[in-house]
């Protein structure tokens, strides 16, 4: 076994070589880190400069003077002003149907007839029972006359003491029973007469007649069909009294019902005539509420003139109820009330410096716009350009139609340009 001796000079040289390699490695690593950091800094600087150097152009619209219609939107269905359902109180087989869809009918006109065979037999039976009852009355009257005569003779004999007192009592009781039998027979006659009248009334009801002058909207019966009137009368026909005058039943949201009152004008459209707008008038506003999927609405009745018969019952309509009509009012676009300059947004979010740009934060521009658009007391502000920069101008606003808003106070006369948004210069917006 051979052992090689290592001198102290060799060990020192090897350590110096390793130390020099480590230093070169660290230098290389820091050099690369420095290059990456410089690249990131340059990119961030370029991004900031690009954002700050954007040439912003403010979009303006003029304040105008004109009319403003404040409306409430509601949907509903058209219906006749007087709709009558014609049914049958009797059960039976339909013998004939004498009215059809869309047919105009008069009061008393025959719409349908039921089979009367069973009722006619009942009438014959009741007539016979009435005749028998009347015969029993005659028989009872004869018996009563006989009993009275026997009582009279018994009273004469009793006055002469020729018969016993008990015989007189028997004759008196017999006379009273005969009188009661005659009254019972007379009551049976009245009962038979009432039964006959009831059956004849049912016989008259087998002829279904129109209760109004109108138009047949629906017919739910056919000849040969069996009508079963048990707990309620089955509906055979539905009649509309006059289709030239109709009503539109709409549901007004609880947030808008305070602005609605009878007498207001309204317009509405239907899908059947999309190019035409119909006029209406608010006739009534119901106090009872309706709750559908948690939404509270109130039924509102609109009167509709349908002289040209273009509208039909059941059509769905979208109505605009005019709750306020302003003339010659100062108007500004609603976009001007929602606009907030970027400088205001940056101030609200804590500054626009480098740290503020780099640190994450919640966007505040939307909330700032909402605060500006919904300020308490209707006191808001709009922005006008002075020396190319937006300047806030306080205004007091009134009614709005969702697109334009009435200005009731503030230094924004008609013709003044208010800022509604921004656009990059050269974008063509």
Q: Report domain extents, the chain.
A: 1-53, 56-66+330-424, 72-81+239-327, 87-112+209-234, 116-205
d(CA 341, CA 344): 5
pLDDT of amino acid 40: 77
With bands split at pLDDT 50, 70 and 90, how would you rate the model's confidence at 98?
very high
Which of 148, 156, 133 is closest to 179 using CA atoms? Answer: 148
Give yes or no for residue 351 having a pLDDT over 60.
no
d(CA 312, CA 278): 13
What percent of the chain has a predicted confidence (pLDDT) above 90? 59
Tell me the pLDDT tens digit for each residue of 296-332: 999 999 999 999 999 999 999 999 999 998 999 999 9
Q: What average pLDDT does the segment 388-393 reach?
A: 89
- Element spanning 325, H or E: strand 316-333
The lowest-confidence range among 9-18, 54-63, 89-98, 128-137 is: 9-18
Tell me the H-state helices in 219-377: 334-338, 342-348, 354-358, 365-373
- Element spanning 23, H or E: helix 8-52
With bands split at pLDDT 50, 70 and 90, how would you rate the model's confidence at 30?
confident
In CATH, the architecture of 87-112+209-234 is Beta Barrel (2.40)
- Per the structure block, which two tokens stand in for 250? 């709409």
pLDDT of amino acid 332: 92
d(CA 79, CA 84): 12
Q: Which residue has the higher pLDDT, 4 or 114?
A: 114
d(CA 87, CA 233): 6
Give yes or no for residue 17 having a pLDDT over 70.
no
Give yes or no for residue 202 having a pLDDT over 80.
yes
Residue 308 three-state SS? coil
d(CA 246, CA 285): 16
d(CA 53, CA 297): 53
d(CA 260, CA 32): 74
pLDDT of amino acid 373: 42
Residue 161 three-state SS? coil
- Per the structure block, which two tokens stand in for 168? 């007189």
- Per the structure block, which two tokens stand in for 409? 């106070």
Decide which of 3.60.15.10, 3.40.50.300, 2.40.30.170, 3.20.20.80 is the CATH code for 72-81+239-327.
Answer: 2.40.30.170
Tell me the pLDDT tens digit for each residue of 255-266: 999 999 999 999
d(CA 298, CA 291): 9
Cβ proximity of 402 and 68 under 8 Å: no
d(CA 245, CA 81): 7
Cβ proximity of 142 and 177 under 8 Å: no
With bands split at pLDDT 50, 70 and 90, how would you rate the model's confidence at 153?
confident
The lowest-confidence range among 113-122, 145-154, 291-300 is: 145-154
Mean pLDDT of the chain: 84
Residue 260 three-state SS? coil
What percent of the chain has a predicted confidence (pLDDT) above 70? 81
Which of 117, 94, 87 is closest to 229 using CA atoms? Answer: 87
Range 56-66+330-424 classified under CATH 2.40.420.20: yes
pLDDT of amino acid 22: 64
For 46-99, the DSSP string reads: HHHHHHHT--EEEEEEE-EEEEEEEEEEEEEEEEESSEEEEE-SS-EEEEEE--
């Amino acid at each position: 076994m051979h052992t090689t001796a290592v001198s102290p000079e060799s060990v020192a040289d090897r350590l110096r070589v390793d130390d020099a390699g480590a230093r070169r490695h660290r230098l290389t690593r820091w050099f690369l880190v420095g290059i990456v950091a410089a690249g990131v800094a340059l990119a961030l600087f370029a991004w900031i400069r690009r954002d700050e150097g954007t040439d912003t152009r403010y979009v303006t619209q003029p304040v105008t003077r004109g009319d403003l219609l404040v409306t409430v939107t509601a949907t509903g269905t058209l219906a006749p002003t007087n709709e009558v359902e014609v049914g049958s109180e009797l059960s039976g087989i339909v013998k004939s149907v004498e009215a059809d869809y869309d047919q105009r009918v008069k009061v008393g006109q025959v719409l349908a007839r039921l089979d009367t065979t069973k009722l006619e037999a009942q009438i014959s039976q009741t007539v016979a029972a009435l005749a028998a009852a009347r015969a029993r009355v005659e028989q009872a009257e004869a018996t009563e006359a006989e009993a009275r005569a026997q009582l009279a003779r018994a009273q004469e004999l009793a006055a002469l003491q020729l018969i016993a007192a008990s015989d007189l009592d028997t004759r008196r009781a017999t006379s009273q029973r005969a009188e009661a039998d005659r009254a019972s027979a007379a009551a049976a006659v009245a009962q038979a007469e009432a039964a006959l009248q009831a059956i004849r009334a049912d016989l008259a009801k087998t002829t279904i007649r129109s209760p109004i002058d109108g138009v047949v909207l629906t017919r739910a019966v056919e000849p040969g069909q069996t009508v079963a009137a048990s707990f309620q009368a089955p509906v055979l026909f539905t009649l509309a009294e006059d289709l030239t005058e109709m009503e539109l039943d709409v549901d007004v949201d609880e947030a808008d019902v305070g602005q609605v009152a009878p007498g207001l004008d309204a317009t509405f459209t239907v899908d059947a005539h999309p190019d035409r707008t119909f006029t209406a008038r608010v006739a009534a506003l119901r106090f009872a509420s309706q709750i559908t999927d948690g939404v509270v609405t109130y039924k509102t009745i609109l009167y509709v003139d349908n002289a040209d018969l273009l509208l039909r019952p059941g059509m769905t309509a979208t109505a605009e109820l005019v709750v306020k009509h302003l003339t010659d009012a100062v108007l500004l676009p609603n976009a001007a009330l929602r606009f907030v300059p970027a400088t205001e947004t940056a101030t609200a979010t804590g500054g626009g410096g480098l740290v503020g740009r780099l640190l994450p934060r919640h966007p505040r521009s939307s909330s700032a716009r909402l605060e500006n658009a919904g300020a308490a007391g209707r006191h808001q502000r709009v922005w006008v350009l002075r020396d190319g920069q937006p300047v806030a101008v306080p205004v007091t606003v009134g009614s709005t139609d969702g697109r334009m808003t009435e200005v009731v106070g503030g230094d924004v006369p008609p013709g003044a340009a208010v800022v509604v948004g921004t656009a990059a210069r050269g974008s063509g917006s």
